[in-house]
Structure 1
């Protein structure tokens, strides 16, 4: 048995995930009544990732900032700019696609028990209160804005601490990183449970009615993934962006697709950033920050579903209002929670721009939950893998600016 486990661990993690994916589909088609006993593996896997991610972020960021030497450069300013550009362009793609391929909806119910924010000020207010949240509550509730704030403050406060104290935080972050590696090794079993649960409970038949809407949503997400974002990367690096993009999709996007949580994918992105040889002082902050504000997929979802409601009701949209929607979708997306379905609750906010009542807007949210099996999975995959893409892009752009040689994918990371 020990030899069997050793040989299994020697197989590429991606290949092991494919095996888990196939087993999940087979079990869902052959034993659909065993939902509890198979899907529990998926719930345990996501739960383990969500449990370890907040603690990992806290100690990684504290350690990185505490050891940061004055004058040592990071690329956080450019990374935030890249996050903003990508999210805004994604909202623009969603708006343009919705005008080219207008979709009308058969409205549904089922989302009345959730409470969307009342306006953009409420979204911003929530973000501000998350910043000053109790640190223990922030960890318990996976409030990454609060965790980042406390980690940065404590890191700055510990800058003048003794080397022995700083070493304690380094050792703690290394230990938690090792735990993350153990959890990630369970991905094949976890994904088997997640796939089984998705197919056996929701099925794919519920998606057929909203096929056109799904095509527009997923088409926009694929366009941003394979054309818009690579163009941004090329603009800053002047090198072929696709090796980096495909590497991040393979080693990050696939996990995010199944976990459907940017927050749960933080440990995966941390590991990938380290594998790419990126600066830990930068990615220890940019990755958890990206899980909160880098939301291109959410901007697409908000803009496309909002305009679907507009087309359903026959509302005319002028150019100025469309531009406002792009900005509103981008800003709102940055306030979306890093959990499954987080962007859907911001649709009523965007619908209010066109005078659409909350009752109708919540029916659109209900449609979002129905198609969420694919929509939210692809949205999270887009959101999460680009955290690493843009962190790497900022570092490579800085090297290019300084005239240093660099490769998009180091040989050890291939």
Structure 2
């Protein structure tokens, strides 16, 4: 008898509920077993973070560089601009409204407030730092694009597959247990009610931002294509709802292709832009990451300013390039930047993972639907270039 597969979001929700319940009656000695698992898991995750960045970014940059052309550069630039502007909008909304919706400094003592300590931990220092990983990824990616080195390119692609498999087969399956331990700890320390109340408000605000972002994107697309923007957005709804189920931009490509053609975009343009944007256009993901980061910093009373987040947003648009087609890929690729640039602790990162995955489907749907907007703009700017581009690739 086969049991139905349980969605990751459902597993996370169950883990949170069980963590809250268990925190009411678990003895300290039993809770410390889960704290020990969390300590070891955190070390392993910290070890993987630079490898995730290197594995995703270097092959993606090499791929883009190998397909040089005005149309490709325009598509990549528009995707990056959309991603970063989405991040800045998210920062402005979070900075303006979150202090009124959630209690500032409510989790100031998040780390110190935990009553459960690990029996032991295993140190797993990363091979190199996050910034070193980014610099190395850029160097290798740009160099491979220039010299067209097939051997090293193939090795990097295989390394990317190894990293993706590790996330899909190790990190993601163990994530619910990790989240269970986090909420068990927070229940013991009496902070879980504050966290859950803030989660609900943050999720509602981010969902409203998604809707607003898509309306703005398709208003621009309507002006460019001289078509009704609401009709264009309505045409892309099948791709939106498909992405809600798949939680993967790559898995939704066939539907996105079909709906973009229905909007009147040339088939050659669609065949070039949509698969590319599935890996480089992450406006919905950037919006979620930035909003969640602002909310957690406010909740802990941590200082932040616009220059700090500006640097973070510009880097996040690069680090989540080619995030794997598994739930939570973008947040895994951004953990290093959260730690290095915003000073997030392991507990902060765990809350970011839980909060991000709670909205993972909606972020992916926003990414996918936004790909149609980019296809419309590129089709208008390069009406006869796509066919030549596809023939040369």
TM-score of the superposition, structure 1-length normalised? 0.54
1:115 and 1:219 map into 2 onto residues whose CA distance is: 40
1:91 and 1:350 map into 2 onto residues whose CA distance is: 14
CA shift in 2, pair 1:124/1:262, >3 Å = farther
2:73 and 2:231 map into 1 onto residues whose CA distance is: 24
1:344 aligns with 331
- The CA deviation at 1:296 is 0.2
2:206 aligns with 217
**1:245 is aligned to 2:233:** yes
2:375 and 2:274 map into 1 onto residues whose CA distance is: 8
1:89 and 1:391 map into 2 onto residues whose CA distance is: 18
- The CA deviation at 1:80 is 2.4
1:40 and 1:322 map into 2 onto residues whose CA distance is: 36
TM-score of the superposition, structure 2-length normalised? 0.57
- The CA deviation at 1:75 is 4.0
From 93, 98, 102, the equivalent of 1:97 is 93
1:236 aligns with 224
On the 8 A contact 2:277/2:371 being kept in 1, the answer is yes
On the 8 A contact 1:91/1:326 being kept in 2, the answer is yes
Equivalence map 1:295-374=2 (5 Å): 295-334=282-321, 336-352=323-339, 355-368=342-355, 372-373=357-358
**1:122 is aligned to 2:109:** no
The 3-state SS of whatever aligns with 1:257 is: helix
2:75 aligns with 79
1:96 and 1:297 map into 2 onto residues whose CA distance is: 15
On the 8 A contact 1:302/1:350 being kept in 2, the answer is no
From 357, 369, 387, the equivalent of 1:385 is 369
What do residues 220-278 of structure 1 show as CA deviations (whole Å, max 9, x unaligned)?
22221122x12432453454322212211x12111001110111112222333444453
CA shift in 2, pair 1:242/1:333, >3 Å = farther
2:261 and 2:221 map into 1 onto residues whose CA distance is: 19
On the 8 A contact 2:293/2:352 being kept in 1, the answer is no
**1:263 is aligned to 2:250:** yes
CA shift in 2, pair 1:355/1:252, >3 Å = closer
- The CA deviation at 1:93 is 1.1
2:349 and 2:215 map into 1 onto residues whose CA distance is: 32
Where structure 1 has 5 or more consecutive residues not aligned to the other structure, the ranges are 1-33, 43-60, 66-72, 145-201, 401-414
Aligned pairs, number: 273
CA shift in 2, pair 1:264/1:139, >3 Å = farther
CA shift in 2, pair 1:399/1:140, >3 Å = closer
Alpha-carbon RMSD across the aligned residues, in angstroms, is 4.3
1:52 aligns with none
**1:134 is aligned to 2:154:** yes
What do residues 115-148 of structure 1 show as CA deviations (whole Å, max 9, x unaligned)?
999525524645756985439966994999xxxx
From 253, 268, 271, the equivalent of 1:281 is 268
1:230 and 1:121 map into 2 onto residues whose CA distance is: 38
2:183 aligns with none
